[in-house]
Amino acid sequence: MVRAWYMNDNDNEDQRCERHLSPPLYVNLDELKEKTGVLYWQINADNYENDETYAQIRQERGYDYQDNLEISKEKLADYESKLKIFFTEHLHADEEIRFCLNGSGYFDVRDRQDRWIRIKIEKNDLLVLPAGIYHRFTLDQSDYIKVIRLFIGQPCWTAINRPADDHPARQSWIKLVT
């Protein structure tokens, strides 16, 4: 089950650590959806091919393409530079959908007050980040994750780095969470 919390954005701390505020301030799934538009489902990663909920999500949301991405020093070419790209704050014109098959990591997303919320993604977690949300990704200290990336139509992974407040997807996201 996914966990989320407001995070300490101390640049001196390893980005792969949990980075809790003191005291910790957790965010439940309803708050996460309300404050960010992020959606969550728990799906059995060991049997997702036969999972009715997974099939229903794909059909209802129009996700007709998927591929796998494995992030580790051994599996991802140009590992260090890719991690820097993933951890640069950005948005996308389309949803970002990730279903974790193994390993773990963090998605950091901005709430409507521009505060960071850290979302721990682990095996069985399916996350949908809405188009236009500022976010970034990092591995945790396990240094490994394997995910399915889902798309509507042809895969498109174009990161639009911040600032991008005038982008139409950003304007739509602001309306979604206000």
Domain boundaries, the chain: 3-177
CA–CA gap between residue 30 and residue 36 (Å, rounded): 10
Q: 167: annotated binding-site residue? A: no
Instruction: Flag whether pLDDT at 139 surpasses 90.
Output: yes
**More reliable by pLDDT, 10 or 171:** 171
pLDDT at 12: 85
- The predicted model gives 143-149 an average pLDDT of 99
CA–CA gap between residue 132 and residue 167 (Å, rounded): 8
pLDDT at 11: 80
Q: 90: annotated binding-site residue? A: yes
To the nearest whole number, what is the mean pLDDT of the chain? Answer: 97
Q: What tens digit of pLDDT does each residue of 59-91 get?
A: 999 999 999 999 999 999 999 999 999 999 999
pLDDT at 154: 86
Residue pair 45/101 in contact (Cβ under 8 Å)? The answer is yes
Q: Specify whether domain 3-177 bears CATH 2.60.120.10.
A: yes
CA–CA gap between residue 92 and residue 74 (Å, rounded): 27
- The predicted model gives 43-72 an average pLDDT of 98
pLDDT at 136: 98
Q: Which range (6-20, 82-96, 126-140) has the least confidence?
A: 6-20
Q: 135: annotated binding-site residue? A: yes
- The predicted model gives 161-165 an average pLDDT of 98
pLDDT at 106: 99
Own/partner contacts of 114-117, CB < 8 Å, gap of 24 or more, are: 115/6, 116/6, 116/7, 116/9, 117/4, 117/5, 117/6, 117/7, 117/27, 117/32, 117/35, 117/36
pLDDT at 104: 99
Instruction: Flag whether pLDDT at 157 surpasses 90.
Output: no
CA–CA gap between residue 19 and residue 38 (Å, rounded): 20
* Residue 79 DSSP one-character state: H
- The predicted model gives 146-172 an average pLDDT of 95
Instruction: Flag whether pLDDT at 10 surpasses 90.
Output: no
Q: How confident is the model at residue 156 (pLDDT cuts 50, 70, 90)?
A: confident
pLDDT at 108: 99
- The predicted model gives 22-41 an average pLDDT of 98
